[in-house]
Structure 1
Amino acid sequence: MTMTGTRPGTDGRAGARGGRRRRTELASFLRSRRERITPADVGMPPGPRRRTPGLRREEVAQLAGVGVTWYTWLEQGRPINASPQVLDAVARTLRLDGAEREHLYRLAEVPDPAAPDDAEALPCTVQPILDGLDPMPAAVANARSDIIAWNRAYAAIFPQIPAARPCERNSLWMTFTLPPCCNPVLNFAEEAPLYVAVFRHRYSRHLDEPGWKDIVRRLKTASPEFARLWNSHDVALPEARVKAFRHPAVGDIRTQTTNLDVTAAPGSRMIVYTPLGARDRDRIARLLDDPAAAALAVHRH
């Protein structure tokens, strides 16, 4: 995959256009939610004849406990800052449901403190799908590369993941912190730059989120190689590709990866590793038949 830099000026213009589009969408969204609520819905007298359906802007501001001018500017799509507390008050006043609230925060480019963990958001129907894919290794990861569900074949190839502490159950963390003797990534020197470039592409959408900043900080501290690659600012789009892994019990295993969005858990994706040939299928089968051999990669240093 080709990694790209940014031509001077292009990213700034694209960012400004994206910001204007989000603010325009935010303005339209807030107006539509305001217009569907009547004064009676919020316990207010109907008052004289109204020229506008639903609540007035000043009424929303009053009920939310925010300034009329500030709310007017927000609904006009002006570039103003909004805190989670203020957006939460607006969301309650406009009676937004979970999806609408998430939409509001995303358009306002503010992390939602009430958003559930990825593990909590994963539907119960996903694990049976993963299990049904055996003997093809498969897992579900969030955008941050935290592994939040997996099947038996995945655990056989990557036994470090189930054995890890939750805060380290992350494929990028494993790639850059495991020593060579038990690191499953074959051709680390070739793969590592791409891993970091794809991660930075995803990171650009989560710049202010504590979890993202924390994993980058910890990786830069734990891995000089990650720090070097991170500071290069290369970016790349994810794509289906051939990935090869090394297991001490059976040798190298080559797979073709396929990423499928899990729409019920926004930002999450299912990664399916299809063995490339009969030898690769046989080696995965051997690991599944002998769990003790599959666990060889997990040991103390």
Structure 2
Amino acid sequence: MTRVHGGFANRMYRLDTDQGSFAVKEMNLVDRRWPYRVEDVFRFERAAFAAGIPMPEPISAARDTLVHRWVEGEKVPEAPVPEAYAFEIGEILARLHALDVAWPPAPAEDPTPRDWPELAARAVATGQPWADDLTSQVDTFLAIAHFVDTCERPGPVVLTHKDIQPWNLLTREGRPVILDWELSGLLDLSGELGSTALSLAKGPGFDGVKPTIFRSVLDGYVAGGGALPPPGPSWFVFMIGGWLGHTRWNILRCLAGVEASTGPDLALSHESVRNGVRGLPDLFGRLPELEALLA
């Protein structure tokens, strides 16, 4: 097997055999942020693949290893995608949300952690390279945590991929292929649409969001038979909350200072923290202009 670098939470390998090539994913079980529902996700993937959703064929799933058929394609850069590509992603989401797949009820979520002052103090004490940036934004991170806990979600709740971002997509003959399904689960529809549309309509920051690309995802969703939820901040709370949790998880890895045997390399965790500490306050401050995309 050959290691394929670039993943965030898990480690990927390519296995070439006389029966074809396979993507073998080694799951990070050491410090996951939540339990991984192996059987539920695999059943959802098989149903999606059987329904013609463009994705790698799921081959097998065990507690610590996932195997899919290897798919050749071009990586999607973190930049606005073509309108046709965004439209097709919207159509795919509508088809995905229409699948009839059993899923266990979601457990009640714990309150968003409010330990940002303590984390900042530990970062300063241990000389983390991003400690000053985090310290200057503690109040903002507390405000973000409050927003995540109190923002009203209008529903409906759908079973979906939950993480359609450029790094989880390929382009094959100009059309999308959706990768990395292990975060699949139940999610408020507005959060899924807002996260997906925004990620496909922007570059690394938020200065160049393309409204036409954002709307193309929503137009594709409607064309695929979906109905849009009402506008509001709920469209972006899932993206903000997910990034907040991802940043905190990487902060804890950096504070431990140990190169773990699974999951991201320590250098990648530091990069993720820097991006979160600088990018999350920017995203949170732009909520009014992001909501204007829904008008």
Check whether TM > 0.5: no
Q: Which has the higher contact order (CA 8 A, sep 6+)?
A: 2
More strand by share: 2
> Which of these two proteins has the greater Rg computed from alpha carbons?
1
More helix by share: 1
